[in-house]
Amino acid sequence: MQTKPGQPHSPDTAARRREGVRLIAPAAERNLGPILEVVALHAPIQGLALELASGTGQHAAAICRAHPGLSWQPTDLDDTTFESIAAWGVHLGTANLRPAALLDAGRPGWGITRAPVDLVLAVNLLHLITEAEARAALHGMAEVLAPGGVALIYGPFLRADGHASAGDAAFDAHLRAQGHGAGYKPEALIRDMWQEAGLTVTRHEMPASNLMFAGRRAVPAA
């Protein structure tokens, strides 16, 4: 993955370092605190949580420690970080981190196979995949939710009036130039798809011009 030029909260897996088995992504170190704050606003006290694109496992382990009532299922398309995810759990002494599992969040239909969960989280994924994959990820995040459950997504997005900063414009251009269909997605895509799926959407401004969206599925009236 590439660094967002001029932005301190970049998704920079290329800059990962290692402490034993544990991988450390500088971006995950920097955005962990703000993400923990928003997760705390929305997370249930207990239940099953599913994380997409878990990467190093830094977020998974830290959220597990902060929310011991959640049973946390980390996943990723790439299994080469699964040892690191487990090692982060041991390092932080969590008892609620499950072994990581393979999951392609861009494959249509994954949501129904994983449902129901009480929380689903994706950090810094959407801009790295195609629009079709992003739509499948967003659809799956809505579909996987139990009544009362919440979907949380964090990353850089295109605003209604364009990029939030020159660094975002440059990083988006860099992603698009690679020719794999990656690039920033409009923030309206999240709101539109989740509202259409019946979720109530809340938007949070995050540091370094990132955004975090929460989409909650209502509990049906008795």
Ligand X SMILES: C[S@@+](CC[C@H](N)C(=O)[O-])C[C@H]1O[C@@H](n2cnc3c(N)ncnc32)[C@H](O)[C@@H]1O
Residue 64 token pair: 């597990």
Size of the site for ligand X (CB under 6 A): 24
Question: Per CB under 6 A, does 105 bind ligand X?
Answer: yes
Question: Per CB under 6 A, does 55 bind ligand X?
Answer: yes
Q: Which of 86, 123, 153, 208 binds ligand X (CB under 6 A)?
A: 123
Residue bearing tokens 């739509």 = 135
Which is closer to ligand X, CB of 107 or CB of 148?
A: 107
Question: Per CB under 6 A, does 128 bind ligand X?
Answer: yes
Tell the smallest beta-carbon distance from residue 198 to ligand X (Å): 24
For residues 121 and 97, the answer to whether their CB atoms sit within 8 Å is no
Q: Which of 119, 125, 144, 164 binds ligand X (CB under 6 A)?
A: 125
Which is closer to ligand X, CB of 115 or CB of 148?
A: 115
Q: Quote the CA–CA distance of 196 and 188 in Å, as a whole number.
A: 12
Question: Per CB under 6 A, does 11 bind ligand X?
Answer: yes
Q: Which of 3, 4, 9, 13 binds ligand X (CB under 6 A)?
A: 13
Torsion of CA 214, 70, 111, 37, to 10 degrees: 20
3-state secondary structure 31-81: HHHHHHHHHHHHCCCCEEEEEECCCCCHHHHHHHHHCCCEEEEEEECCHHH
Q: Which of 38, 43, 65, 104 binds ligand X (CB under 6 A)?
A: 104
Residue 112: half-sphere exposure toward Cβ, Cα within 13 Å = 3
Residues 173-192 touching ligand X, rule: CB under 6 A, are none
Q: What is the DSSP string of 73-120?
A: EEEES-GGGHHHHHHHHHHTT-SSBPPPEE--TTSTTHHHHH--EEEE
Span interacting with ligand X, options 38-46, 93-101, 118-126, 196-204, rule CB under 6 A: 118-126
Q: Which of 47, 89, 106, 167 binds ligand X (CB under 6 A)?
A: 106
Residues lying near ligand X in the complex (CB under 6 A) are found at 1, 11, 13, 25, 28, 52-56, 59, 76-78, 103-106, 123-125, 128-129, 133
